[in-house]
Each structure stands twice: as structure tokens, then as C-alpha cells.
Structure 1
Amino acid sequence: MPTVTGDSRLQSDVLEELSDARAYRRWLAHLARPYLGDDPVEVGSGTGDYALEWAPTVKRFTATEADESRYKALAARFADHENIVTRELLLPDAEADGHHTAAVAYNVLEHIPDHVGALRGMGALIRPGAPVIIIVPAFPSAMSRFDRAIGHERRYTRDSLRTAMTEAGLEVEDVRYLNPIGLINWYVSVKGLGMTPRNGALLRLYDRTFVPVARFLDRRGRAPFGQSVFGVARVPAAPPHVPGPRG
């Protein structure tokens, strides 16, 4: 059964500490938007910052969280939002009925030991032919003390994410690296110097200066490396109904 690992308090602190990265968040939110449909579900919504980016563009948005304390904060934050529904969710979901138009999980899969089972569980939440949209941290060589403290089981390559999606029975549509500038910065600051990502002048400078460049480069072509891997895979479409012979 997929479970989520890591220091829950540290995870919550980091989510709050990175709230200033607004340009970065808008960029990543934009990548998923064409796939969402009108009734998507987010797996591992954290503090709900991405939900706020996506909800205005859909009819109904379901934000979920496995951690009890974060779920309570999430539910309180969205109590007055008409089109955002919140629920506590740990995959696999026994109540999954496959009605959502998409499942999106940003920086969640790397926390789950059974990531194939988690992807299979996400597929059970959505309709046949609907997409699962994933972002995960890239490159095992970038694994740092911070990664381990926050509960990262692994970092990915394009091939390893593609393999996990395929093993989960999903049909891979797109897998690519994002943000090569961010990976270089990660090697230097987080892995090399042991820094913890947090709000402040450096993060705001990076967000205003380097994120627009990384976004521009992503529009121009596919990077050979990056800080994250972005992937889209679909639940196989239901086979067409073929009526049997009439008796």
C-alpha cells in the first residue's frame, strides 16, 4: 500500500517557506492547465497554493492531502471557496470511482515507496482516457541531505518516470526535463553548500530573474537536463462497445 514518508513538520515548513516563488508556481501550474478538464483532482495539495492557481479555470476542483494536520489547514483555507472540494486521501483510495477528468500530483510521487502503486491509484481516480500529470525532482546524483530529511525516496530521470508510468498501466504521452538553471543552482546551493530552500531575498531574486529565462527556454525546446521531470500519461481508453448478436 502506498504510504508517504518524511518529516511531516519539515514538509509543512518547506511548503510555507517557498510561498514567495510565485513566478515558478505560475509556470508549473500553466503546464498542467491544458490537461485538467472541468473536474480534476490534485493528489497531495499541501498548503493549496497550486489549487488556487487551477481552480478559477475549472468547474470543480478537488484538493486532497494525506497528512492529517495539513489536511485540516487545507480544509480551513478552502471552506469558503465555492468550487474547491477538499478531502483526506491516501492512495489507494477504496472509494475511487473514476469520475475525475484528470489527476495531478506535483512533488508527491518521490515521497511514496510504492510509486507504481501510487500511479495506479491515481489512475483509478479518473475516467478512461484521462491524464495523470506529474512533476518530480530530477537526477539521483542531485540527492542531498535535504532530500532525505524531507522524505524523498528517490529522484527521477525521464526514463525512470516513464518506466514507472508504464508499469502502472498508463499510456505515456509526454516526459521531459524542466528548469536546467534550477538544477545547477540545486547542485551548488543545496547539495554542495547544504542550504535549505526558504523564502527570502535570494529566492525572490531567483524567482524574478531566472524563472522567466527557464520558462522561455522550455517553450523554445526540450532541455537535456533539469531540476524536475514533467510527465503526462493517460489511463487507457475504454474499448468501444461492440453489441452482440441479437437472439
Structure 2
Amino acid sequence: MAELTGDQRVQSEVLEGLATAVNHRRWFVELAIPHLGDDPIEIGSGMGNYAAEWAPHVSRFTATEAEPDRLVELKERFADTPNVEVKEMLLPTSETGSHSTLVSYNVLEHIEDHVAALRCMKGLVRPGGKIVLIVPAFMFAMSPVDYATGHVRRYTKKTMRAAMEEAGLQIEVLHYANALGLIGYYGATSIFKLTPKEGPMVKFYDSLVLPVTKAAESLVRPPFGQSVFVVARVPE
């Protein structure tokens, strides 16, 4: 494995930290399950943690990754999982497909021409299928961690709606998620200049704060959040 650059090291630390946030991951897994259909594709599967939880719910699952070392790890992880195909993919792509759904968590914010990326995503999904995304919310929360991990923007519901509509997609669900997480993330990364990684901070948030936030947001959609969750339909 090649030696990591500073930015790649931060990316790895954040991914590994998020991997230990089990309650956070399960919440976001649950958000997508009703929309997956029978043959979804994930763009930017990373370590494969979401793929591993979605795959049992579908007949076929395609996991993709652009970063070479993570792609190798992904193929090793799912080598003995017959309904999971792992392939290399980088947006923008000319590849097309007829998947039931495309799901992509925390990827679009890395792509400069996000409308072109959304059009590529649309090309991978059959007419009437869905695109399910989670992206980080609110530009005021852009921090050194965001820049180090390659983020070029954060979103609001308004900017996400605009990008989706420009790409020719029809929004079905659009809301903020994890309101308390936004406050914690802003405090940790912008005020205290910390990197969210494996350790007491992530463990405290995931075991104590996250369940309260999830329960509250199941009753009332918050006016802000750490993330924007969106489901859009590919026109028939």
C-alpha cells in the first residue's frame, strides 16, 4: 500500500472514526432501505460498511470505489458474498445501467461539477428508479477537516433541490438529519480544530447523543442538521 499523504491520512482517520459510530451508521442505513429496490448500486462504497448492511435486503448489490487501495479492500471484504459485485467507478463516468436505485453517501460534496455527476448517476438508474443521497449541510460548517477530506461544498435543502432539478431529477424526499450532530461537528472542527476520529468523542456522541437525536427527528423534522438526506426519482 502506498504511503498516505496528509489529506489521505485525515480521510482514513475520519472513515475509521465513522466506522465505530455504529448507531449513526444504522440510522442512515435505515433511511435508504425503503428506497433500494432489487438491484441498487452504491457510488463511493469506501470501507463497505453501508454495503454490508444493505446487501442482505436486496437480491443484488453493486458496490463501487475509485480509490485503488480501498477498492482492493472492498473486493477482499465481499469475495465470499455472492450477491455483491465490486467494481471500480469514478464520477463523471460514461457508463450506463438499469439499476433500481443509486445510493451515495457523502460523495457529491467532493465533486466540482455536481450537476454533471448527478446526470451520470441518473444514467445508471432505470426510468422510475431512485437516487438516494446524503451530503453534509451548511457552508458555515466548512472546516479544515472538510477541506482536508476534499469537500468543495456543503449543502442546504435549497441548493440540493436546485442541483437535482437542473439534472432533471424529481425530488420525493428532502430533509435535514442529525441536528445535534451539526452543533457538535461545528464546535469540534471549527472552534476546537479537532478531527472526528475513533476515540471518546465519537463514542460519547454515538452512544448517548445520537439515539436522542434520532428519536426526536422521527417525530419532528428539524430546520437544520449535519446532513441533507434526499431521494429523487428518475423520470419515466
Scaled to the shorter chain, the TM-score interval is: over 0.9
* Structure 1 partner of 2:91: 91
Larger radius of gyration: 1
Quick check: 1:92–1:117 contact (8 Å CA) kept in 2? yes
* Structure 2 partner of 1:78: 78
CA RMSD of aligned residues (A): 1.2
What is the distance in 2 between the residues matched to 1:13 and 1:186?
A: 15
* Deviation per residue, 1:146-176 (Å, 9 max, x gap): 1111100000000001111111110111111
| Counterparts of residues 69-218 of structure 1 (less than 5 Å) | 69-97=69-97, 99-218=98-217
Alpha-carbon offset, residue 8 of structure 1: 3.7
Quick check: 2:42–2:62 contact (8 Å CA) kept in 1? yes
Question: Which consecutive residues of structure 1, in runs of 5 or more, have no partner in the other structure?
Answer: 1-5, 238-247
Q: Secondary structure at the match of 1:128?
A: strand
Corresponding pairs, count:
231
Quick check: 2:13–2:197 contact (8 Å CA) kept in 1? no
Q: Secondary structure at the match of 2:127?
A: coil
Q: Secondary structure at the match of 1:129?
A: strand
* Structure 2 partner of 1:50: 50
Give me the TM-score of the superposition, normalised by structure 1. 0.91
Q: Secondary structure at the match of 2:100?
A: coil
Quick check: 2:29–2:50 contact (8 Å CA) kept in 1? yes
How many percent identity over aligned positions? 53
Alpha-carbon offset, residue 17 of structure 1: 2.7
* Deviation per residue, 1:31-78 (Å, 9 max, x gap): 000000010000000000000110111101100001112111111111
Q: Secondary structure at the match of 1:7?
A: helix
Give me the TM-score of the superposition, normalised by structure 2. 0.95
* Deviation per residue, 1:4-47 (Å, 9 max, x gap): xx934432332123211000000000000000001000000000
Q: Secondary structure at the match of 1:123?
A: helix
Quick check: 1:178–1:228 contact (8 Å CA) kept in 2? yes
| Counterparts of residues 7-22 of structure 1 (less than 5 Å) | 7-22=7-22
* Structure 1 partner of 2:3: none
Quick check: 1:8–1:67 contact (8 Å CA) kept in 2? no
* Structure 2 partner of 1:30: 30
Quick check: 2:10–2:145 contact (8 Å CA) kept in 1? no
Question: Which consecutive residues of structure 2, in runs of 5 or more, have no partner in the other structure?
Answer: 1-5
